[in-house]
C-alpha cells in the first residue's frame, strides 16, 4: 500500500514533492483476529486505515479481501458500485464520538442510515434492526428517538459502534476508537469490542498510540515509523522479544503498572523524521542508539526473521534488545 500526498507550490500549483504518508506497507489481518497498529503521531496509521477501505484513494498497492461468499476480491479493482457493496463488509469506527455523530439526527437515524443507504431495511424492519443493534452494544433500545447530546461519551462511542455494525460487516478499522474516553469507560468499550468479535467473528485493524491498549486487545501488532512498517509480530513476541530499536524505545516508554519494577527509559534523541523529506538510508538512523555507517546509506529491507516476525533493521539478528516482559 502506498499513499503519497502531493506538496504544491507557487502560482501554478506545481507539485514540488510528496508526503509519503504510507510508503510500501504490507500487512495481513486474519479472520477473527485483531491487528494492532502503533506508532507516533503522523506516522501514517490513519492514512493506512482509510486507504485499506478506499475511504481515501491509495496511490498504489493492492487490497485483497475475502467477502461473505468466501471469494477473494481485489478492492483496488472495484468500480463505484462494487465499492459500495464491499463497504457493507468493511466499516470504520472513529476516535471522537462527539464530532462523528450528527447532532441533529436521532439515534434511530444515525444507526439506521447505512441500512437505508444500502437499501437493506426501512420502516418497522429498520426500527427493529436498530433496536437489536442498540441492545447488542449495551444501549437501552427505548432511547432510539433521542439525540446524541443526551448520551455520555462512552454511550456515544457505543452508538458509533452500532452504526458500524449495522450492515453486518466482517472487518472494522477502529481508529483511536477508545482514545478520547476516560480510562474506566475505555475498559468497557474494549470489552465490548472483544465480545462483539467473539459473537460475530469480526476482524479488526485496531489503531492506537497507546501501547497498553494495543497489548491488551491485539493478536498481532505492527509498528509504523514515518510511513513504513518497521516491525510486525504476534503481540507476545513483539512485547517480549522486539527486534527493532524503535520498538524497543516505544516499549521502554510504556508506563509500568507495578511501581516496584524499575525500568530504564530510552529517551529518543531528535524529532520524528519529516515524511516529506525523510533521512537517507534507514529513516530511524538519526535517532537510533545502535546506528552504523550502513544505516545512513542503505534502507533496510522488511524481512521475516523468524516465523511471523518481520523487521526492517540491518542489525535485527545481532542486537540484544530489551522487551517489556514482567510489566
Ligand atoms: N490530506 C492530507 N494532505 C497532506 N498530507 C496529509 C493529509 N493527511 C495526512 N497527511 C500527512 O500524512 C502523514 C500521516 O498522517 P496520519 O494522519 O495518517 O498519521 P497518524 O499516524 O494517524 O497520526 P495521529 O496519531 O496523530 O492520528 C502526516 O505527515 C500528515 O501530515
Ligand atoms: S537499520 Fe540501523 S539505524 Fe535503522 S533501526 Fe536498525 S540499527 Fe537503527
Ligand atoms: Mg490518526
- Structural domain tally of the chain? 2
Q: How many residues belong to the chain? A: 327
Cβ proximity of 27 and 219 under 8 Å: no
At 255, the pLDDT band (50, 70, 90 cuts) reads low
Decide: 5 in ligand 1 pocket, CB within 6 A: yes
Q: How confident is the model at residue 131 (pLDDT cuts 50, 70, 90)?
A: very high
Examine residue 279 and state whether it is found in any structural domain, yes or no.
yes
Nearest CA to ligand 1 atom 29: 42
* Distance (Å) from CA 260 to ligand 3 centroid: 34
Question: Which of 324, 310, 320 is CA-nearest to residue 214?
Answer: 324
Q: Is the CB of 22 under 6 A from ligand 1?
A: no
Q: Which residues surround ligand 3, an ion (CB under 5 A)?
A: 46
Whether 64 and 183 map to the same domain: the answer is yes
* Residue 312 three-state SS: coil
Q: How far apart are CA 111 and CA 99, in angstroms?
A: 15
Mean pLDDT of the chain: 90
Residue at which a domain ends, from 200, 223, 246: 223
Pocket of ligand 2 (CB under 6 A): 244-245, 282, 284-285, 288, 290-291, 295, 300, 313-315
> Quick one: 153 and 177 in the same domain?
yes
Residue 93 counted as domain residue: yes
What is the distance between the alpha carbons of residues 268 and 255, in angstroms, rounded to a whole number? Answer: 16
Q: Give residue 265's pLDDT.
A: 60
Q: Which of 249, 263, 253 is nearest to 291 (CA)?
A: 249
Cell 501554478 identifies what position? 12
Residue among 7, 19, 207, 274 to mutate when testing ligand 1 (max atoms within 8 A of CB): 19
Atom of ligand 1 nearest to the CA of 50: 18
Separation of alpha carbons 270 and 173, rounded Å: 31
* pLDDT band for position 244 (cuts 50, 70, 90): very high
Percentage of residues in the chain having pLDDT higher than 70: 94
Ligand 1, atom 4, residue with closest C-alpha:
5
CATH number, residue 34: 3.40.50.300
Task: Please tell me which of 76-90, 184-198, 296-310 the model is most confident about, judged by mean pLDDT.
Answer: 296-310
Yes or no: say if 185 and 153 are a contact pair by the CB < 8 Å rule. Answer: yes
Instruction: Report how far residue 155's alpha carbon sits from residue 161's, in angstroms, rounded to the nearest whole number.
Output: 10
Ligand approaching nearest to the C-alpha of 313: 2
Q: How far is the CA of 293 from the centre of ligand 2 (A)?
A: 10
pLDDT in tens, 204-234: 999 998 898 999 999 999 999 999 999 999 9
Which residue, by CA, sits nearest to atom 1 of ligand 2?
A: 313
In which element (H, E) is residue 309 found? strand 309-311
**Mean pLDDT, to the nearest integer, of 142-151?**
93
Say whether both 264 and 118 belong to one domain.
Answer: no
CB 113 within 8 A of CB 145: no
Asked if residue 32 has pLDDT above 90, the reply is: yes
Structural domain for 287, as ranges? 236-311
Nearest to 55 by CA among 201, 159, 205, 157: 205
Q: What's the pLDDT score for residue 327?
A: 45
Residue 267 to residue 272: CA distance in whole angstroms: 13
From the CA of 56, give the closest atom in ligand 1.
1
**Rounded distance from Cα 175 to ligand 3 centre (Å):** 7
**Cα distances (angstroms) measured from residue 246 to each of 26, 32, 39, 287, 290:** 18, 28, 9, 9, 10
pLDDT digits (tens, 9 = 90+) for 41-52: 899 999 999 999
In a domain, 323, yes or no: no
**Mean pLDDT, range 104-122, rounded to an integer:** 91
| Beta sheet of 228-234, edge-to-edge order | 90-93, 171-175, 203-207, 34-38, 220-225, 228-234, 309-311, 303-306
CA 211 to ligand 1 centroid distance, Å: 20
Do 208 and 59 lie in one domain? The reply is yes
Could you tell me which of 114, 189, 104 has the C-alpha nearest to residue 148? 104
Residue 231 lies in a domain: no
Q: What is the pLDDT of residues 286-309, one digit of tens each?
A: 999 999 999 999 999 999 999 999
pLDDT band at 257; cut points 50, 70, 90: low
**Is 318 contained in some domain?**
no
Q: How confident is the model at residue 95 (pLDDT cuts 50, 70, 90)?
A: confident
Closest-lying ligand 2 atom to the alpha carbon of residue 288:
8
Question: What is residue 94's predicted lDDT score, i.e. its pLDDT?
Answer: 83
Does residue 46 line the site of ligand 1, with CB under 6 A? yes
Provide the 3-class DSSP secondary structure of residue 121. Answer: coil
Enumerate long-range contacts of 114-123, CB under 8 Å, 24 or more apart. Answer: 114/88, 114/163, 114/166, 114/167, 115/166, 115/167, 118/84, 118/88, 118/167, 120/88, 120/166, 120/167
How far does the centroid of ligand 3 lie from the alpha carbon of residue 136, in Å? 27
Amino acid at each position: 500500500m502506498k499513499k503519497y500526498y502531493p506538496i504544491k507550490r507557487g502560482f501554478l500549483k506545481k507539485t514540488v514533492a510528496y508526503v509519503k504518508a504510507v510508503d510500501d506497507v504490507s500487512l495481513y489481518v486474519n479472520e477473527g483476529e485483531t491487528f494492532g497498529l502503533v506508532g507516533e503521531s503522523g506516522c501514517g496509521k490513519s492514512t493506512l486505515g482509510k486507504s485499506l477501505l478506499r475511504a481515501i484513494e491509495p496511490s498504489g498497492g493492492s487490497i485483497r479481501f475475502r467477502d461473505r461468499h468466501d471469494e477473494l476480491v481485489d478492492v483496488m479493482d472495484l468500480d463505484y458500485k462494487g465499492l459500495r457493496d464491499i463497504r457493507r463488509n468493511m466499516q470504520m469506527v472513529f476516535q471522537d464520538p462527539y464530532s462523528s455523530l450528527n447532532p441533529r439526527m436521532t439515534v434511530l437515524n444515525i444507526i439506521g442510515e447505512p441500512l437505508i443507504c444500502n437499501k437493506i431495511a426501512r420502516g418497522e424492519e429498520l426500527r427493529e434492526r436498530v433496536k437489536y443493534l442498540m441492545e447488542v452494544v449495551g444501549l437501552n433500545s427505548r432511547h432510539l428517538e433521542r439525540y446524541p447530546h443526551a448520551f455520555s461519551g462512552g454511550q456515544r462511542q457505543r452508538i458509533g459502534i452500532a452504526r458500524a455494525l449495522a450492515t453486518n460487516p466482517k472487518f472494522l478499522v477502529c481508529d483511536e476508537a477508545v482514545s478520547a474516553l476516560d480510562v474506566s469507560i475505555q475498559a468497557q468499550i474494549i470489552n465490548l469490542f472483544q465480545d462483539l468479535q467473539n459473537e460475530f467473528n469480526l476482524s479488526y485493524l485496531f489503531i492506537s498510540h497507546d501501547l497498553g491498549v494495543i497489548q491488551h486487545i491485539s493478536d498481532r501488532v505492527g509498528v509504523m515509523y514515518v510511513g513504513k512498517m518497521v516491525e510486525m509480530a504476534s503481540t507476545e513476541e513483539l512485547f517480549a522479544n522486539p527486534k527493532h530499536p524503535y520498538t524497543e524505545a516505544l516499549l521502554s516508554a510504556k508506563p509500568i503498572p507495578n511501581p516496584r519494577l524499575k525500568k530504564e527509559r530510552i529517551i529518543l534523541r531528535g524529532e520524528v523524521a519529516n515524511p516529506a523529506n525523510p533521512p537517507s538510508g534507514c529513516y530511524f538512523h538519526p535517532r537510533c542508539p545502535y546506528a552504523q555507517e550502513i544505516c545512513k546509506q542503505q534502507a533496510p529491507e522488511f524481512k521475516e526473521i523468524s516465523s511471523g516476525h518481520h523487521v526492517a533493521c540491518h542489525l535485527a539478528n545481532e542486537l540484544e534488545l530489551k522487551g517489556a516482559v514482567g510489566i
